[in-house]
Amino acid sequence: MNIIKYLLVFCIGFASMPVWAQKGLFETPKLAARKGFMLGVNTDFDFAAADMAKRFGNNYRIGPSIQYKTAKKWIFGAKFDFINGGKIKEDSLFAGIKDNYGTYISIDGQRIGINWYERGYMVGIEAGYILNTSKKVTDNGIMFLTGLGFMQHKILIQDKSESLLQLRGAYRKGYDRLSNGIYLEQYVGYLHLSSNGLINYHIGINAAFGFTQGRRDFLYDVQRPGNDTRTDILIGIRGGWYLPLFKRKSEELFFE
């Protein structure tokens, strides 16, 4: 009798397997596309091109972003990038205030050092789409973003002792090459949003095209106005880390 009982249970269980399979017992669960905000921290390593390369060397950017992702995998957001660089290519800069040894003389007759850097920022809005490539997480895939915003950059001049008369106060503006204008940006990269929310990142290729103009009335070193129009291009590798703020629902998991 016990054997018959076991066989009967086995037969019922075997007959029920298709039903269990339909419910996903033997299938890999798939996470439905989620929606919500994503807080990001991004960084770029950029190669300068066009007019940007005539003034500066390669640079890096870092800054925050906030994006909203829809359930249909569209992305809308805003970002802010700080521009940082250490190489200046303006050969004429400070040529008129150096001595014969290429150094600077302070008001008390001492030789001093001057430091200069590339500094700037980019602030704008962006929109894009995620082309899904994952069988388990529909949020993962190739992310395309297009951005539009405002770009500004200049030469940051540091005379910590404030002992060089030519660089005091408003005179410094005659050397800093302040420029700004609009920019367009294109990004394509891989986006990974884990199902448990712990590992969320993106990495890809980025290109920014700035249509800027010099904003100084007069440049002391070259004795001319500094209001020329420019095309400033940055091409590089962009990556970042996300903190997703998605609402989780029980119906997000489904089976294929």
Amino acid at 163: S
CA torsion through residues 52, 54, 58, 62, sign: negative
- Asked if residues 146 and 154 have their Cβ atoms less than 8 Å apart, the reply is no
**Total residues found in the chain within this entry:** 256
CATH topology of domain 29-247: Porin (2.40.160)
Task: Give tens-digit pLDDT for 192-241.
Answer: 998 887 899 999 999 999 999 999 999 988 899 999 999 999 999 999 99
Q: Is the pLDDT of residue 53 over 60?
A: yes
**Two tokens at 190?**
């891989």
Please report which confidence band the pLDDT of residue 158 belongs to, taking 50, 70 and 90 as the band edges. confident
Instruction: Kindly list the domain boundaries of the chain, sorted by start residue.
Output: 29-247
Q: Is the pLDDT of residue 19 over 50?
A: no
- Asked if residues 42 and 231 have their Cβ atoms less than 8 Å apart, the reply is no
pLDDT reported for residue 145? 98
Please report which confidence band the pLDDT of residue 39 belongs to, taking 50, 70 and 90 as the band edges. very high
| DSSP letter (8 states) at residue 174 | G
Q: Is the pLDDT of residue 21 over 50?
A: no
Of the candidate ranges 5-9, 90-94, 200-204, 247-251, the one whose mean pLDDT is the lowest? 5-9
pTM given for the model = 0.81
- Identify which of 121, 241, 124 has the alpha carbon closest to the alpha carbon of residue 186: 124
